[in-house]
Structure 1
């Protein structure tokens, strides 16, 4: 599906970034530091927002077509990034490989988001940061009910879940939440979590 969507993805997401996720990419990327892994990097829309202290950026994505667009974006920005095809549910990196892992607007569509969170935690160094942005299930039940109805169609059509709450998976993955925000009637969440410095 993402191979087909890739050429029009940027046009489609721009509206939602203004209306629903405004400032979210900036919030997440501003907290990145050191060696950064971006999971489900897509077309590289986060690239302009990484600070200088994000020394090296590696990005993985399941869709080669999305990666082609990300490579062009990086080149246009004069950035050196390491982009490769890989599965978020089975990251091809050793334990404790990165200082920061970033995942934006993607855990909603990764089939096994629990496995993806576990993998992101695994590749973090002690003291490392996991930075997330996604739409989630609202804590206001009338909104959640509407999301659930929409989800019945979007899961079938695009594998996209509306009611997931990734933050609930972090403790089991050995991570502690440092900072988080819920916005838009509880349907958008930004999370900065950390792997304890003494973690194995």
Structure 2
């Protein structure tokens, strides 16, 4: 497991990132953001964007959607507010400072939750995933876009080393798939729908979960 994170470290890191985040990360992560938005948009009208940051993906949602964006970093959210105002994004109905691990949102209140590049930045990833699942309506989806580290080889060794060097940056480069698989495999109401690699260089993955009874359990009930 990589270096531990804490909320204060993450807040400080993203306060530093806020002025340059779009310049550094917009183009290299744009394909993934568009794919994640397309997946979440199909799940329903009302969508919670967790870790909305500066709001790079907000213009990709259609006018018929209702988007609420939350983020731990107030400086990042101010950039998102500027984007919403300048582009007149009427589909964005709210932007709030909020912790992904303790969402101030009622149970089952969104058709989908999108969390782009978030799970590796929170101190308790499994707790955050539980919160995402809690606020999604039965039949809705959780859409993650995240870095998944290599299981072995030179890249795995490099990611372990990098994890020790980058705690102050507010993210965790060493994040194996087993952390996510162990989460959904132990939660009968969560079903993995899709996992596919995304650019650049397949370093990221689009991961979709449905919230509700396991597909196998639903099938048994039907027959």
| TM-score band w.r.t. shorter chain | 0.7 to 0.9
2:70 equivalent in structure 1? 60
Q: Greater Rg, structure 1 or structure 2?
A: 2
| Alpha-carbon distance in 2 for matches of 1:63, 1:186 | 28
Residues 1:88 and 2:104 aligned together: no
2:114 equivalent in structure 1? 102
How many residue pairs end up in the alignment? 193
| Alpha-carbon distance in 2 for matches of 1:190, 1:124 | 18
After TM superposition, give the deviation of residue 75 of structure 1 in Å.
1.6
Residues 1:167 and 2:180 aligned together: yes
Q: Which runs of 5+ in 1 are unaligned?
A: none
Q: 1:161/1:29 Cα in 2 relative to 1: closer, same or farther (>3 Å)? A: same
The answer as to whether partners of 1:131 and 1:193 remain within 8 angstroms in 2 is: yes
Q: 1:124/1:12 Cα in 2 relative to 1: closer, same or farther (>3 Å)? A: same
Larger relative contact order, structure 1 or 2 (CA cutoff 8 Å, min sep 6): 2
| Alpha-carbon distance in 2 for matches of 1:140, 1:22 | 28
1:195 equivalent in structure 2? 211
Q: 2:35 aligns with which of 5, 24, 27?
A: 27
| Alpha-carbon distance in 2 for matches of 1:162, 1:172 | 24
TM-score normalised by L of structure 1: 0.88
Residues 6-17 of structure 1 mapped to structure 2, 5 A cutoff: 6-14=18-26, 17=27
| Alpha-carbon distance in 1 for matches of 2:34, 2:47 | 15
1:161 aligned counterpart, secondary structure: coil
2:84 equivalent in structure 1? 74
| Alpha-carbon distance in 2 for matches of 1:131, 1:75 | 26
Q: 1:185/1:138 Cα in 2 relative to 1: closer, same or farther (>3 Å)? A: farther
Q: Which runs of 5+ in 2 are unaligned?
A: 1-11, 218-223
Aligned residues: CA RMSD: 2.1
| 1:48-103 alpha-carbon deviations (Å, 9 max, x no partner) | 222345x2100111111111110111122221320011100000011101001000
| 1:149-191 alpha-carbon deviations (Å, 9 max, x no partner) | 1111112x22311121353223334321111103566531111
Q: 1:197/1:132 Cα in 2 relative to 1: closer, same or farther (>3 Å)? A: same
TM-score normalised by L of structure 2: 0.79
